[in-house]
Amino acid sequence: MQPKKTKYRKSQKGRSRERKLTTKGTELCFGSYGLKALETRWLSGAQLDSIVKVLQKLPKGAKYWLRIFPHQPVTKKPPEVTLGGGKGDVDHYVSPVQGGKIIVELDGVSETEARKFLKQVHYKLGIKTKFVKK
């Protein structure tokens, strides 16, 4: 997963928000059940792709909403390159997630099914999460 078009090819990392909890995107908006991040991390586009693969196995009539998108480019220099020579090329994209942010929302399933699918999503993420409901 990555953006189709960006204004600038490379960006700066930004300030660390390790200890801060977010105030935006903390409530369920679309679905009845959701998965909330409890720690601050960068989630890669590959991790979000694997989440989508899990959620595509939801029963008919169920809907899911991914509340984050990987828009932050991460650059990397090739191996065995000496220092200098500027910033490396874009390697992949990440989504910076602060603690308290809702990552995924579900609707149209029972609570037990929602817990089952969101537990599978939790295993794919690699961060501490919490099941929430309206």
CATH 3.90.1170.10 fits 33-79+86-133, yes or no: yes
pLDDT in tens, 80-92: 999 999 999 999 9
Give long-range contacts, CB 8 A cutoff, 24+ apart: 11-16.
Answer: 11/72, 11/73, 14/96
Cβ 107 vs Cβ 63: under 8 Å: yes
Identify the pLDDT of residue 114: 93
Residues in contact with 55: Cβ distance below 8 Å, sequence separation at least 6, in sequence order: 64, 104, 106, 117, 121
| pLDDT of 15 above 90 | no
The token pair that represents 103 in the structure block: 């990552």
Identify the pLDDT of residue 24: 87
| pLDDT of 16 above 80 | no
Domain ranges of the chain: 33-79+86-133
Task: Report if pTM > 0.95.
Answer: no
Which of helix, strand or coil describes residue 100? coil
Task: Count Cβ atoms below 10 Å from residue 111 Cβ, excluding itself.
Answer: 12
